[in-house]
Structure 1
Amino acid sequence: MSNDPAMQALARLIGTWTITGGHEGTVTYRWMNDHFIQQDIQLGDEHGIEIIGRERKLMAEPSADIKSRYYGQDGSTLDYTYEIDGDTLTIWAGDRDSPAYYQGTFSPDDRTLNGAWVYPGGGGYVSNAMRVS
């Protein structure tokens, strides 16, 4: 496990989750190494992977925020920013404070994560997760 406190906070995601709401399926989070978490995604017919960690460009310091890149079966590559503050997980589409984001709350036993994606102009959908392993 990482010695980075922000990455350690994301350890609450490690495991397999059943997703319900606007999209249905499963996601599995696992440590790749001390610096990155990989998420394997199966939502409906869509498959993808996401790599989560601090961005570190050649000869540069690690990014202040935890970033990710999603790679979808349709060729899409989407960027996100992750943060856990207390029991609240926020995932912004793109950079921090983007108007498109997910916000959810972990249950006290970390078995559920209930929240919603919010899109500019009032769109979005409920997205809840239940840990299965």
Structure 2
Amino acid sequence: MSDKTPNPALRQLDVLVGTWNVTTSDGGQGASDGQVTFEWMEGGFFLIQRFELGQVRGVEYIGHDEETGTLRSHVFSTAGDVLPYTWQVQNGTLTIWYDAPGSPAYFEGTFAEDGRSYAGAWHWPGGGYKATATRP
């Protein structure tokens, strides 16, 4: 047994735990509706997201990166992708950057006051789409 403990910065992700129905308005960008579920891995070092968005299924592991001091993740999907992201939840806003903070490809959304939904958009050079997630 290790006496290591999860970094407290991970707790900002507690707001995501549970199941969310995702709907998108893609403007022809190829976004897909579906469902995502977040749960803590035993030990609390990683938040696991399982997703089913259109025909793509996958899993994402989000943990604290000691080197950068950020919440980093990797997505593994049935499309064969392995994609890196950085997560942040601050003042009711969820931001997910592709790879590192400051990336031109990112999601930014705002949680409703009751925490039962959030709405925002993915942005990238030349495109993007709106997305809303609600608890069933």
Residue number among 73, 96, 102 corresponding to 1:97 in the alignment: 102
Q: CA deviation at 1:62?
A: 5.0
Q: State the partner residue of 1:58.
A: none
**Aligned residue runs from structure 1 range 48-59, under 5 A:** 48-55=58-65
**Percent of residue pairs identical:** 41
Amino acid at match of 1:36: F
Query: d(CA) in 2 for partners of 1:81 and 1:75?
Result: 20
Q: State the partner residue of 2:115.
A: 110
Amino acid at match of 2:44: D
Give the TM-score of the pair, scaled to structure 2.
0.87
**Aligned residue runs from structure 1 range 27-66, under 5 A:** 27-32=36-41, 33-55=43-65, 61-66=66-71
Q: State the partner residue of 1:26.
A: 35
Q: After the TM superposition, list the runs of 4 or more consecutive aligned residues in structure 1 that deviate by more than 4 angstroms.
A: none
Residue deviations 1:44-89 (CA, integer Å, cap 9, x gap): 111000000113xxxxx45401000000112110000001111000
Amino acid at match of 1:120: P
The reply to whether residue 12 of structure 1 matches residue 21 of structure 2 is: no
Q: CA deviation at 1:3?
A: 5.6
Query: d(CA) in 2 for partners of 1:70 and 1:85?
Result: 22
Query: d(CA) in 1 for partners of 2:94 and 2:68?
Result: 19
Gaps of 5+ in 2: 25-30
Q: State the partner residue of 1:126.
A: 130
Query: d(CA) in 2 for partners of 1:86 and 1:112?
Result: 15
Gaps of 5+ in 1: 56-60
Amino acid at match of 1:53: G
Whether the 8 Å contact between 2:38 and 2:50 is mirrored in structure 1 is: yes
RMSD: 1.4
Query: d(CA) in 1 for partners of 2:89 and 2:74?
Result: 18
Q: State the partner residue of 1:80.
A: 85
Whether the 8 Å contact between 1:6 and 1:83 is mirrored in structure 2 is: no
